Structure 1
Amino acid sequence: MNAPLLIPANGPLRDARGRSKRKLRVSLTDRCNLQCLYCMPEHPKWLPREQILRRDELVRLVRLFVTELGVREIRLTGGEPLLRRDAVEITAELNALRPLGLDRIAMTSNALRLAPVARALKDAGLDDINISIDSITPDRFRAMTRGDVTPVLAGIDAARHAGLAVKLNSVVIRGYNEDEVLPLVRWAYGEQLSLRFIEFMPLDGRGLWTQDKVITEAQVLEQVQQEFAVQRLPRTSEPAEYFLLNGRYRLGIIPTISRPFCSTCDRVRLSATGELYSCLFSEQFRDLKTPLRSGADDAELAHAIRGHVWHKEAGYAERKGYAERPITMHHLGG
């Protein structure tokens, strides 16, 4: 009988399946000013502010991930991260970690509040931003999100003018916006904006997801090929597959459902309340806020993180369908 593998006491953060973790997604808040179908419950209940990690707590944990655990990339998420008043200050404090090993600071946003702070975020150290946009048609956008697309488009323009690298993310759901695929591609292609389609995942807070609502990578490509010459590009370490359109534009598709990429997953997630999730679909988490506020030192926190991540599940590829847990996407981030 083989002896159980020992959890590493030092070195890069990794799990028992040999996957190293170089990316940390950090949720700044559970609050959001949109109500997207694939994320937000019909009647969300916001967490009391005292339950959310304070800036000093958040920065301390990120510093630990960078200096002791080998994380090199941070992505700030929500809810909507720009609803947090100190989002720019958080970015600046994380930027100070670059001499300690941090390579990249990114953000995922709905861009409703981006235009006024895009330059400040760039100056604070933000490298790039992913912006969610499921339609550029005002009525369809409102049906998907209960919001207005106009400030989103203004935020995209402001981010580009500020010098931020911009990627657009679009979740495609059968019966809701599958006919928006080509309009989005035409627009992004003309504007030379990076666009990625994401297969609808069973993580919404409404029980909306069913397999037949998923528009797969193959079905997206079937539409795109009606107007563009499509060439599949070599696989990268990113979750997205990339395709060259007309020999000049790179389109991404994240095939989480039809072709899960769990075997190469290199990320972990920290919720706004300090819960560490090793997998987007996991039902298990490790509470870091309680020991943090109870006086745990960095060695104790690092040990807790290593232990949790070591037991990371195989992922969605092995256990498909809804994760039975109280936390939803607006608490955890994408």
Structure 2
Amino acid sequence: MVRRFRKLRLSLTDSCNFACVYCVTGHEAPAEKAQTRVEDFLRWVSAIHAVNPLNEIRLTGGEPTLYRDLVPLVARLSAMGISKISLTTNGFALARLAKPLSAAGLSAVNVSLDALDETIFRVMGGRSPAAVFAGIDAAKAAGLETKINTTLVGEVNDSQILPLLGWAKGKHVTIRFLELMAMGHLHAERSARLVAAEDILSVIATAFEFRALPRAPHATAHYYELDGGYRFGIIGNTSLPFCSDCDRLRLDSHGRIFGCLSSQQSHDLAAEGIDVAAVLRSAMQLKQAEKFTGSQLVMREIGG
């Protein structure tokens, strides 16, 4: 089967105002302060969209809400006719930005929330959980499709599975639990902290009855339904691999396009005279046939 590229993940900045333990060690050099111009992002996306019409663009970071021109960028991407523009964020600035982003054409937001307990939240690298909760409420009020992403780290926030599930269910917001990825500083160390899908489900089974739902084509998450119809998901890059039909490519803030998080190889879309269609084909060929293997790439730099 020949894969088709449908979804672009666009990293707007290397900067982040959190220091999540699965992304950084805390000893990294400060990220560059210079930001890529809106015109550059639009030129790269337009070139891609012209030869390969996109179904979705997901804006990532670092932390994309730190990109100063986020709202005008969303508006101009929306004007291209791309059917879905979404955002992955830590939610810290979302209370202020949700309404203008929705008005500009944003349709969905994934908010990273790794704990309800404030102490654990901060140990995981977050700041001000109250600001994140306010951001989630603002996103819902603005009409944005809102999901929660929780990355689980063994012996750090795995005690939060049931509290977060109960909270999300009460909020009528879908939550997805993510297995820790073998990326960056965790490439060789991840296994000791991995909370696998079967472990997540075992914990949930102590409090809820649920059934597995069929995985949608190209989806990263496997979903489960509780009695009453509430659905939660697990993104299990190790236990429940989804690589075989992945339809995403990543473009970083320097104009480099990546085919897979398991490969550090990239292609420079910003180079003069580039054959965009050929670059996209080459990037798609870097994808894993079956299972994610990880790499030294840092998620803060390439985007989630």
The answer to whether the Cα contact below 8 Å between 1:36 and 1:144 also exists between their aligned partners in 2 is yes
Task: State the distance in 1 between where 2:98 and 2:58 align.
Answer: 16
Task: State the partner residue of 1:235.
Answer: 215
User: Letter of the aligned partner of 1:256 in structure 2?
Assistant: N
Which structure has the bigger radius of gyration? 1
Task: State the partner residue of 2:265.
Answer: 284
Measure how far apart 1:288 and its partner are: 1.9
**% identical equivalent positions:** 36
Task: State the partner residue of 1:250.
Answer: 231
1:266 aligns with 2:247: yes
Q: What aligned pairs does 1:159-170 form with structure 2 within 5 A after superposition?
A: 159-170=139-150
User: Letter of the aligned partner of 2:57 in structure 1?
Assistant: I
Task: State the distance in 1 between where 2:205 and 2:264 align.
Answer: 38
Match 1:144 to one of 115, 124, 129: 124
1:216 aligns with 2:196: yes
The answer to whether the Cα contact below 8 Å between 1:28 and 1:78 also exists between their aligned partners in 2 is yes
Task: State the partner residue of 1:6.
Answer: none
1:77 aligns with 2:60: yes
Measure how far apart 1:20 and its partner are: 1.0
CA-atom RMSD, angstroms? 1.8
Task: State the partner residue of 2:180.
Answer: 200
CA deviation string 1:264-292 (max 9, x = no partner): 10100001111110002212111222x1x
The answer to whether the Cα contact below 8 Å between 2:112 and 2:149 also exists between their aligned partners in 1 is yes
1:29 aligns with 2:13: yes
Task: State the distance in 2 between where 1:276 and 1:223 align.
Answer: 38
Q: Partner of 1:145: helix, strand, or coil? A: coil
The answer to whether the Cα contact below 8 Å between 2:267 and 2:283 also exists between their aligned partners in 1 is no
Match 1:60 to one of 13, 30, 43: 43
Deviating above 3 A after TM superposition, structure 1's stretches of 4 or more consecutive aligned residues are 46-50, 204-209
CA deviation string 1:216-243 (max 9, x = no partner): 1111111111111111111112110000
The answer to whether the Cα contact below 8 Å between 2:14 and 2:32 also exists between their aligned partners in 1 is no
Task: State the partner residue of 1:185.
Answer: 165
Aligned CA distance change for structure 1 residues 53 and 288 (closer, same or farther; 3 Å)? farther
Structure 1, 79-88 or 278-287: larger mean CA deviation: 278-287
Task: State the partner residue of 1:11.
Answer: none
Task: State the distance in 2 between where 1:332 and 1:151 align.
Answer: 25
Aligned CA distance change for structure 1 residues 270 and 260 (closer, same or farther; 3 Å)? same
Match 1:306 to one of 269, 276, 280: 280
Aligned length: 303
Measure how far apart 1:311 and its partner are: 2.6
Aligned CA distance change for structure 1 residues 246 and 19 (closer, same or farther; 3 Å)? same
Task: State the partner residue of 1:9.
Answer: none
Measure how far apart 1:48 and its partner are: 3.4
TM-score w.r.t. the length of structure 2 is 0.94
The answer to whether the Cα contact below 8 Å between 2:248 and 2:259 also exists between their aligned partners in 1 is yes
CA deviation string 1:104-126 (max 9, x = no partner): 00000001011111100000000
Measure how far apart 1:211 and its partner are: 1.4
Task: State the partner residue of 1:132.
Answer: 112
Task: State the distance in 2 between where 1:195 and 1:172 align.
Answer: 12
Aligned CA distance change for structure 1 residues 46 and 93 (closer, same or farther; 3 Å)? farther
User: Letter of the aligned partner of 1:92 in structure 2?
Assistant: A
Aligned CA distance change for structure 1 residues 184 and 64 (closer, same or farther; 3 Å)? same
The answer to whether the Cα contact below 8 Å between 2:223 and 2:233 also exists between their aligned partners in 1 is yes
